């Protein structure tokens, strides 16, 4: 699914919600005050989701993991166009090489979902999967939010 197809899908979904909200206003004349409150909230939500699209094509390439704002790097993630993610580096004094598959999910938020397929250091990681919300994706910066709410920043390599 291309970025445009995903955006069109989101637009159709949002249009359906607006249609439901309008029908609530028309049909439920006794609860009309509740509908009038619901409808503006729905509109604000709809336009906030659509106002800041993320160009997922920018994800493809190499990104560096850093603890000092991109001055030095302890690991690297390379997103390939075929849905493969290759990661390597050293953490806690241990070198790692991992391969995974990634999929981009677009619902109310944009997520990168990863499943580990190969791990050189420890095979117990194979099969583990998780999703991280992509909160910012620019030419040189990738920020994602983990389930625990922590924001991680990666830095584009080789531009």
What would the pLDDT profile of 53-100 be if each residue is shown by its tens digit?
Answer: 678 899 999 999 999 999 999 999 999 999 999 999 998 899 999 999
Separation CA 138–CA 112 (nearest Å):
15
Report the SS3 class of residue 4. helix
pTM score = 0.66
CB hemisphere CA count around 7 (13 angstroms)? 11
- Which residues, 6+ apart, have CB-to-CB distance to 157 below 8 Å? 61, 62, 63, 64, 73, 76
- pLDDT at res. 52: 52
CB hemisphere CA count around 155 (13 angstroms)? 13
Residues 87 and 76: beta-carbon distance below 8 Å: yes
pLDDT tens sequence across 116-142: 999 987 788 899 999 999 999 999 999
Domain map of the chain by residue range? 3-51, 57-156
Separation CA 37–CA 8 (nearest Å):
27
- pLDDT at res. 84: 97
Looking at CATH, the fold of the domain delimited by 57-156 is given as Lipocalin (2.40.128)
């Amino acid at each position: 699914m291309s970025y445009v197809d995903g955006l069109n899908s989101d637009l159709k979904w949002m249009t359906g919600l607006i249609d439901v909200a309008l029908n609530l206003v028309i049909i439920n004349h006794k609860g009309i005050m509740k509908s009038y409150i619901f409808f503006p909230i729905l509109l604000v939500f709809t336009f906030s989701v659509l106002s800041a699209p993320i160009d997922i094509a920018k994800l493809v390439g190499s990104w560096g993991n850093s603890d000092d704002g991109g001055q030095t790097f302890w690991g690297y993630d390379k997103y390939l166009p075929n849905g493969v993610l290759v990661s390597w580096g050293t953490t806690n004094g241990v070198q790692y090489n991992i391969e995974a598959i990634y999929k981009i999910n677009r619902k109310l938020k944009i997520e990168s979902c990863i499943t580990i397929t190969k791990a050189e250091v420890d095979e117990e990681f194979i099969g583990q999967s998780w999703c991280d919300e992509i909160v910012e994706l620019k030419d040189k910066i990738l920020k994602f939010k983990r389930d625990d709410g922590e924001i991680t920043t990666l830095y584009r390599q080789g531009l």
